[in-house]
Structures are given as C-alpha cells and as structure tokens.
Structure 1
C-alpha cells in the first residue's frame, strides 16, 4: 500500500493529536495493563505511559516522549526531556521507567540517533548540558544544578532505557491494530489469499455437505460424501472452486479481526447475509438458490471499512461461512 499520504497526514497533526495517535499505537499492541495520556502541565516529562501493573508509575512502566515538531528531534531537546524524567525519578515522583522512548514524526537528528544508540555518550551529553538545558526547566521558577546526590543519581542512571522509534516503525505496528481503519478511513493493508488444504477438514463438513445436496439434486444421484464425486469431474472441480472461496473468506476474516474495531467482521458478514436473504425466499431448486446467493454476494457493497479490500471471491466465500454456521442452506 502507498504509505506516503499517511506519513504526510501524520506529520501535519498537532501535538495533542500526535499524543492520541501514539496512545493508539500502544493500546493496539496490547502489551500493557493500561495506557494513559498524561501530557500537559505538571506531567514531569510523561506524555504517554504504558503501565504494566496496578503499581502504575511506582512499578514497571514505560514512557513515550511525544515530540511533534516541524524538524527532527534535536539532541538539546532530548537531553532536556531525559533530564526531566531522571530528575523527577530522583525526587521519588515515580519509579524510573523501564524504557523511555522518544517518538517524533520526523525522527531524531543524526546526532541524537547516534547518541541514543550509544548510552554512555548520551549520558555524557545529558550531564554536560544539565546546568544550561535542564536545571532551570525541571520545576518552574527553580534551578537544580547537577551536584551531590543528584549528580551521583544521574551518573548511575540506566541510560540504556532511552531509545527512539521511527514513524515507519510506528505505522507498521499501528496498521496491525484495531485503530488503523477508523483513523485512516479504511486504508487497510490487503489480506492474504486463503489456502485450501488438499483434503477436506472437519471445519468444512457443514457447508460441503450442503453443496453435496446441490449436486445430488441436480444429478439425481445420491452424493453423500466428497468421495462420491470421484466419477463426476464437473462436480469435483466445482466443489474445489467453492473451497477456494471459503478459504479466501476465512483468511480475510482472520487477517482483519485484530486490525478493526470489535464486531467489524461480524457486521460485514451480516451485511452479506442481508443482501442475499431476499434471494433465498424463492422456492426454487438448490442450484438456482446457490447461484443466486453467489451472484448477489459478489455484487454486494457492504457499508464497511472492509469493503474496499473484499474481492468478489471473498464475498462469495462468506456465503459458505454462513452456510457452515447454518444461517444459509441451498436445498429446501
């Protein structure tokens, strides 16, 4: 998919929307007990936090420093923000975070990137700029120079906890969350094609059985199992086409289940059902009912974020999923 328009859009966010976007990223990955936005006056350097347990910021937690600027994040600004976190951890406002990740839509400068990849050098940079960049900014109206116990604390602080994430990395994660479709108007990545196993498996029993009823009615020959199709190449090939549709629909639903809001794939299937339901009212033969359902489903345009990604074969495969769930049958 073309990610360039999305990058441009995200870079145009204001600071608040950037924080919301970052909180979605972490909520969607479901790696924390809770994710909270704390950015604002008195946040002590915490913008978005990922909490690992009930102890919240007094226990294990990660900090996401959200820096939305028109230029890459500079070393000077990062040293200032790192200093705030270290200072307030020193004062006992919270436990030192397990990780502190700088997130800026244009990333860090080359200089800052190299420092964050070399914790000892980043520590040296923070210490060197503390009295000019940090001491007067940690608490309004006060100055806290780097001396005594504070200096010892900074020197012993675990600077490997400071890191950065690029916008490409964030977007790659975000598009696998349930927030992506709603935020970017359905700009979902394509689903993989399904793979039908060579042999029919137990989960196919119901819809395959209903297709066998169709073949039996049309041919006038009892066809009670797939093995009975051995002498009927046309029906055997037709069954395989339907199996491909079924597995494409299975892959489609599985792919988007965790990338969309809860209930999205169920609603998509319900809309397919609603589209074909009137065609099922006619008391006609099993084969006309089947072909009518597939025709209507293939032309259906569900009001769903999934619609742009749903190929005809997927929508027709949903018919077999519905049949498998006993919501549809072909032979009356």
Structure 2
C-alpha cells in the first residue's frame, strides 16, 4: 500500500515546504529551463519560480506561492498574495507571471476555489477588495493605493492561469517522485531491463574499442572490430555478455536519473567504483584478465542508498564498462 505522503507534506514547516517545492520543480524540465527559490524577506510575492526560457524574469515564468497554514488558505490571503505580484510588476521589478499557483497543503476555502473556477470573478475581487485587503497590508506602515499602473497589471494578468495545489494533488503530480524519494524515502522502484541493440552504437565506442584490443591480445591475432569479435566462436559469447551488462547499466542510470536526485545515483556509482578499483589496480597478465577480475569483484559490492536493492549483478558489472567510457578505468593500459 502506498504511503500517504500528503500527511508528510502537511507536516513540513514553511521553509521546508518551499525547499520541497523547489526540488519538485527541478524535475519539471519539460516546463522550465530553470527554477529558482526566492525565500525570505524581499521575495516580492515569489517563493519558488519556474522560468520557461533562459530570459528568466524577462520571459515567461510561473510563480509557486507556498502557504503552509494551520487552516485552508483564505480569500483575503489569496488576494493579498496576488496583490504583491501586481504591485511589484507595476513597479517594473518583473513581468507578470504566465501562471500563478498557490501551494497550500491544507487546501483553499470555498470562495478561493470558486474564484479559480471563475477567473473574471477573481479579477473583479482583486479590484473591488484592494482598498480593504491590499492597500493597508502590502507594505508595513505604508498605504498602497490602487493606482492606474496596478490596475493595468490586474487587467493584463490571465486569471485563467491561477491554480491551487493541496498536499494530495501535489504528491500526485507526475514529476514529484524524485522529491518524495529524497524527502520521505519513497521507493523509486526497479529500473527496466536493458537490452543490447543488434548493431553497435556510438555510446559503446570507447569500452568496446578496448575490449576488442583485449580479445585480440589474448588470441594473439588482432580483431578488426567488435562485429568481428561477436562472430568469433571463442569470444563472441563473452562480448555479447559484456554488451548486455553495459546496456543493463545504461537503463539503470536513465531510470534513476529521472526518478531520484543526481547525488543518489552518484553515490551508487561511487560505491561500485571504490568496490572494484583495488582489484583493477592489481597486476594482471593482460587486459582481459584485468576486466575479468573487476567483473568478479563487482558482483560482491553492496552499495548504499535507496537503489541498493535494485543493483543487480549485470548492472554493477555494466557500470564498470561505463567507467571505462568516462575515463575512470581502462581495460587496456
């Protein structure tokens, strides 16, 4: 049964909720080229923002306003938060956001829900309630009247792009898993199996070149290329196994790159590297013996972290070929 992470999100402090949302946005790469957290005083109504282009605030951007409250977000609070954006946009601090999302773990009151469902009513409420809600409260010890410039911002903003996320909706977002893994120990699940393509592909070039040399040195006659080795009755099966291991590791890396934070995959890789590097550095009669010794050692490495249970033997062995591609190891020295 899946853990109810919504309860965990509700339990976060204001500061940690912002950090959690910032981590979530890091993986919405289809929506944003970059995200940024503007926490603390002087945030101008922005907690976490997603930039749609490299122009950042001079291009399209979305605002995520985090409201960790003891109750649901009220109508006055919603209008006041939007008012901050209109005030600072009118002052030329930034362009109006493309979209605005209230991240309120306990939800919003019915009036705010109704306004979101009826965008023009929301626009009208921001205008009609400015004097009551915004003017005396936007800036401490200062009145902020509803000027023509602010009204122009309210008129220009697309209220159809105002949204609200409670804790349940947030934890059901398709991009949330890496944040749940990092923050609450969510199980990222098992990576799909890797399958070696029939033909040799570019990403194999480095480690295969070294293996072709290693097989040739052992046989005493050089092989022309990897295809030549695969056709060989003595070494073909072995090279097919090595390619399978390489692509098992490639599938593993792709899956966890998308479902966990980079440092988690880095930790797994480093554990495998340090588990095999002593065997790699021992004196071996030839390159093929070196590779075989490393493969044997890789089987017994027990990495740490959330991916430990999913690090199957072919994955750990295949990562050693990736280390060769990356220059951390060399089969032929």
Q: Is the 8 A contact 1:209 1:224 kept in 2?
A: no
Note the 1:101-250 alignment, pairs <5 A: 101-109=101-109, 112-127=112-127, 129-140=129-140, 149=148, 153=152, 156-158=155-157, 159-165=159-165, 167=167, 168-169=169-170, 172-175=174-177, 182-184=182-184, 188=188, 190-208=190-208, 211=211, 225=225, 226-227=227-228, 229-230=230-231, 232=233, 235-250=235-250
* Secondary structure in structure 2 of the residue aligned to 1:173: coil
1:15 corresponds in structure 2 to 14
Tell me the alpha carbon deviations over residues 189-208 of structure 1, each in whole angstroms, 9 at most, x when there is no partner. Answer: 54343231112234434534
Shift of residue 313 of structure 1? 1.6
Q: Is the 8 A contact 2:229 2:239 kept in 1?
A: no
* Secondary structure in structure 2 of the residue aligned to 1:4: coil
Distance 1:116 1:300, change over 3 A: same
The alignment yields a C-alpha RMSD, in angstroms, of 4.4
Q: Is the 8 A contact 2:214 2:331 kept in 1?
A: no
TM-score normalised over the length of structure 2: 0.72
Tell me the alpha carbon deviations over residues 101-154 of structure 1, each in whole angstroms, 9 at most, x when there is no partner. Answer: 2112244456534532431132234345445544443344566676x8489547
Distance 1:221 1:46, change over 3 A: closer
Q: d(CA) in 2 for partners of 1:255 and 1:207? A: 22
Residue 4 in structure 1 maps to residue 6 in structure 2:
no
2:69 corresponds in structure 1 to 69
2:311 corresponds in structure 1 to 310
Between 23-32 and 211-220, report the one with greater CA deviation.
Answer: 211-220
Q: Is the 8 A contact 2:90 2:150 kept in 1?
A: no
* Secondary structure in structure 1 of the residue aligned to 2:276: helix
Distance 1:85 1:3, change over 3 A: farther
* Secondary structure in structure 2 of the residue aligned to 1:160: helix
Q: Is the 8 A contact 2:191 2:255 kept in 1?
A: yes
Tell me the alpha carbon deviations over residues 221-263 of structure 1, each in whole angstroms, 9 at most, x when there is no partner. Answer: 876553455463x75444323212101112223444575347x
Q: d(CA) in 2 for partners of 1:185 and 1:157? A: 43
Residue 80 in structure 1 maps to residue 84 in structure 2:
no
* Secondary structure in structure 2 of the residue aligned to 1:63: strand
Q: Is the 8 A contact 1:188 1:309 kept in 2?
A: no
Corresponding residue pairs, total: 324
Distance 1:216 1:169, change over 3 A: same
Between 193-202 and 167-176, report the one with greater CA deviation.
Answer: 167-176
Q: Is the 8 A contact 1:48 1:63 kept in 2?
A: yes
* Secondary structure in structure 2 of the residue aligned to 1:248: helix
Unaligned runs of 5+ in 1: none
Q: Is the 8 A contact 1:44 1:88 kept in 2?
A: yes
Q: d(CA) in 2 for partners of 1:217 and 1:93? A: 67
TM-score normalised over the length of structure 1: 0.72
